[in-house]
Amino acid sequence: MILAALLVLVSFGFAFSIGAHYTGACVGMPYAAGALKLWPALVLMAPLAFLGAVLASGGVEATVGHGILRSPTIALGVALGIVTAAVVLTSAYNFLTIPTSTIQILVFSVVGSGLAAGLAIDWTTIGALLVLWAVAPFAAFGLGFAFTRLADRWWRPARGVAARGLGPYGRLGLVAVGGAASFAMGANDVSNASGAFVMTGLFGLLLAATVGGIGLALGVLTWGKPILRTVAFDIVDLDPRTATTAQLAQSTVILASVAFGLFTSMNQALIGGMIGAGLARNRRTIAWKTVRGILVGWAAGPISGAVLGFAITYGLIATHVA
């Protein structure tokens, strides 16, 4: 009973932090461009993230809950080791400003914990995720490039609106893609926190997604404000039209992945879309420091997740907690 309560508490806290963490990736574009004020941006994001979690995360919840470890259910202590490792590493990398993926950390925390507990790993699922993680930023890059070229051909600013101005259609487009990204984040990321409920059989898919979705929404509405203020103006160096196409590329890639029961990094997809949109406008200056940071994150997140997940779970087993 104590382990179950602790797992719910830690997982809910993880969902809370995830919601706050992704405010910039979801509504940073419309906020920075002036399409939405601060609180309207958060109020737009919170319910849509919740709805994405409840309505569209079932496939991903099933993948995390049953597709990585070949076991119908796992012990509460093992699940607690997984979530604890993911929370610790995500917090540490955020503090160090190393751009890792919460998803990649979580998946390899599951792998490390599973190995420590002597559970079989479904390497086919891991292989599919690795392929997706490698392909997704390039897919977003291609879509960002294509969407921007199409927008430049068909989307003309209203009379009197400057080239970098924000007319009514531009404002509506940014709000729409911010909403789509919020829904996609709920569907894509809620299982990072609530997948542990499914692994243990503590909750079913819908209840796990609902509890996690509430955590996401509360995180957006409480901790999201300072994070959105900081992140929005760090990630946006695009005019409203290319900001819209970049975020549309991100949402398309994420929702396509979720439709197949898989999940990938929101931030990596967004950066891929931003680079593609920029190059479509012949902006050939690429932020290589950001790209290098992503590559470091690709390596650091999975490796550290596996190591810490193994260590925590092994310690819990050794002390007869798990």
Range of weakest confidence among 159-173, 203-217, 305-319: 159-173
Q: Taking residues 174-184, what's their average pLDDT?
A: 96
Confidence of residue 137 (pLDDT cuts 50, 70, 90): very high
b or e along 236-247 (b: 16 or more beta carbons within 10 Å of the residue's beta carbon)?
Answer: bebbbbbbbbbb
The reported pLDDT for the residue numbered 219 is 94
Backbone angles phi, psi at 101, to 5 degrees: -105, 125
Range of weakest confidence among 93-107, 144-158, 161-175, 255-269: 161-175
The reported pLDDT for the residue numbered 284 is 58
The reported pLDDT for the residue numbered 163 is 46
What integer best gives the mean pLDDT of the chain? 89
Structural tokens at position 154: 């068909």
Q: For 58-102, write each residue's pLDDT tens digit.
A: 999 999 999 999 999 999 999 999 999 999 998 888 777 676 789
Structural tokens at position 204: 């079913």
The reported pLDDT for the residue numbered 226 is 81
Structural domains counted in the chain: 1
CB 74 within 8 A of CB 119: yes
Structural tokens at position 196: 């542990």
- What are the Cα distances from residue 87, in Å, to 101, 112, 170, 193, 289? 12, 15, 38, 9, 26
Range of weakest confidence among 14-28, 41-55, 56-70, 126-140: 14-28
State the CB neighbour count (10 A cutoff) for residue 69. Answer: 24
CB 55 within 8 A of CB 294: no
Per this entry, what is the length of the chain? Answer: 322
Range of weakest confidence among 6-20, 226-240, 267-281: 226-240
Domain that holds residue 66: 2-318
Distance CA 184, CA 177 (A): 10
The reported pLDDT for the residue numbered 1 is 80
State the CB neighbour count (10 A cutoff) for residue 288. Answer: 8
pLDDT of 285 over the 70 cut? no
Q: Taking residues 172-199, what's their average pLDDT?
A: 96
